[in-house]
Amino acid sequence: MGNLFGILIIATIGFLFWQQRRQTELAQYYIEQRCKNMGLQMISFARGEQKLKDHHGEWGWRTVFVFEFSADGIDVYQGYLEMKRLRASYFYLPPHRIPESGNY
């Protein structure tokens, strides 16, 4: 009985690690695509706060991913993406300077 319980714990830990990796890979993809679509340069990406409930009290693995980006290559801004389970639930980009293109 003890061996079965140990195997169950190891399998649960492995599953949670695998889900966390999938969530991180999806978050990085979403952030890269959003930056690309908006003409921004992604500088860095990091996993932040993690909780089992969201701010509405609903259950689900919630992780905030923080990233830095630049619009002009000089100024750096920080945004974040909130993932709930394997879906992007909230994307925040702060107001940032848009470089002049010179094409009028």
- Is the model more confident about 102 or about 72? 72
CA gap 23, 60 in Å, rounded: 12
Average pLDDT over residues 36-65: 87
Q: Write the Ramachandran bin of 60: left for phi over 0, alpha for psi from -120 to 50, otherwise beta.
A: left
Q: Tell me what pLDDT residue 89 has.
A: 87
Q: Tell me what pLDDT residue 45 has.
A: 93
Q: Tell me what pLDDT residue 78 has.
A: 95
Contacts of residue 84, Cβ cutoff 8 Å, sequence gap at least 6 = 54, 60, 61, 62
Q: Tell me what pLDDT residue 67 has.
A: 96
Give the confidence band of 104 by pLDDT, cuts at 50, 70, 90: very low
Which pTM value belongs to this model?
A: 0.79
Q: Tell me what pLDDT residue 5 has.
A: 87
Q: Tell me what pLDDT residue 101 has.
A: 63
Q: Does residue 38 carry a pLDDT above 80?
A: yes
